[in-house]
Structure 1
Amino acid sequence: MVEANFTTVVEFILLGFSDLPSLQGFLFAIFLIIYISILVGNGLIIVITKVTTALQTPMYFFLGNFSFLEICYTSVTMPRMMSDLWTQNKNISLLACAVQLGFLLSLGGMESFFLAIMAYDRYVAICKPLYYPLIMNPQKCLQLVSGAWISGIPVQIAQTCNIFSLSFCGSNKLNHIFCDIPPLLKLACGDTFLNELSVYAGSMIFVTVPSLLILLSYIKILKTILKLPSAMGRRKAFSTCSSHLMVVGLFYGSAFITYFRPKSSHSSGTDKILALFYTIVTPLFNPIIYSLRNKDVIMAIKQLLPK
């Protein structure tokens, strides 16, 4: 009798912004504008880092790859969100949900590694300028980028399989804007302690460790900058690093709050806002931050636009 009262879930209903029925069209228009801006802005960064001779350096090589990653990362969630708002068909199968989560986690892990690599690049450039061409040679840059692209995939696929090995019964209403770990765990049946433990372990690898490496790099960078005799040199070094630090703060700030908050403090509204930050706001502001605060990028854009 007890077993008969449970219904095995075969698909989820992504509630998204269904609590704002009068704003569905407005939200669709806003997200469409944001998505196009992300594609155009990051696409422009990719193009100028490829065609501009002055930007053929390791820093811009990493930036070009990072911008391409941002496009992929956003494309995992935003087209589906806009489709739900436009069609009002919010059903998503377990397989589609698992695929979305797998790509989201893998690309999120890659982004975390890329931010750490870019911090390491700035550390070498500022703290060891004479050795920079030797350390950050083309082969080393290619190895770092390849490692960032592929290293997180096996772990995050295992993490996705771990989440979807759970049984989902009862309610199939996923109160979120896309398939993510915290709202999925809320719908899981039985004891999820081990699954939550694996999520924390994965977060330690893909969030905490890279963020600590970034922090260590910037502590050493700050010490080196403060020792520079020229005020202009200090300003230039601070300007170069501040752009990267803004992107780091946006991404890691929201990721830390999402995956390291106590389960009791999770609320659907807060989770949705944080999800928008690490999947949409960071990719949107990435090209703005790097272009507006970088004279080389602005000059390259000015040279490219007339063509």
Structure 2
Amino acid sequence: MFPAGAILMLTAAVRDLHMAFPLRYLTDVRTSTPGIWLNNPWITPLRDDDPEVQFIDCDYPLIYRSNFVPYHFMHALIDRLGDRLGAAFGPTHYGGDVHISPQEAEYMSQVEEKIGEDIPFWIIAPGWNSTFTVKHWSAARYQDVINAFKDRVLFVQVGRDGTRHPRLSSVLDLTGQTNLRQLIRLVYRSQGVLCPVNLVMHLSAAVKTTSGHYGRPSVVVAGGREPPQWEMYPNHQYLHTVGALSCCAEGGCWRARTFATGDGTAYDRPNRLCVNRVEQLPRCLHIIRSTDVIRAIERYFDGGVVKYLKPGEIAVCDSAVRSHLSM
């Protein structure tokens, strides 16, 4: 089963196929995340039993060369689809292709529903799943970041069920309260995003802002697992440590877990475990301090692409967060 991030990269491949060869192909998809494809203009419903339908399994073997070639994740799906069709084409946009319908654009966000006003907010997604625990930064450091922006930024915590989530204070907590489409709409409404390398990071580049352009401020706590060129987007503050440690000196380590979990899967094998740990963290994440993340967020405000909360908005946020915590 494809991870959600790979499916989002497939949206880029489908878009770019049609941009390169207008009217030549009809495309449909069978994936585990249909919400990503909602409103997609490049999708035409096709029947599985149609004799003219060709099934293509879009895996992405380019990932095995990701430390050595200057390609992004999206190139892997583009190359694979082009290879299977015998039709070479390239990317037209640096990111996936997720669409908000005009009706969805009019929806009140879940944040506005909770607060009662349309107030700017940043999404924070600090959770992790049991497969890739090596991506987890420090909950205490996330809290340091939140505290540093008290009365300046409203953080809205998100995360899906089945994932571990640190309990953070002074946030509007929507953990477990968003399906995939609701998460996409939250990203659409958000002023910025703070997260590790995950689906939220890719959505921040694939979903336009409410003003209709790409380029949402996003700070990504990446460490040394993935090679930066494979994951990062041009407008992101992508905090990686590839090249700073011997274990990721020439590229991402691609390890899965900080410690073995005892679940009996291949991810507990020695070759999938972090080999350089300190204070319960992979060293590549340990050396990214809360001050690094704070400064990365501040750059967007210093540069003027976003603005801090106004005095009236601060009072509304404080009241809403206190009310939320008492529920």
Name the TM-score class by shorter chain: under 0.3
Task: Give 1 or 2: higher helix fraction.
Answer: 1
If asked which structure has higher relative contact order (CA below 8 Å, sep 6+), I would say 1
- Give the TM-score of the pair, scaled to structure 2: 0.24
Larger Rg: 1
* The structure with more strand, counted as a fraction of residues: 2
TM-score scaled to structure 1, two decimals?
0.25
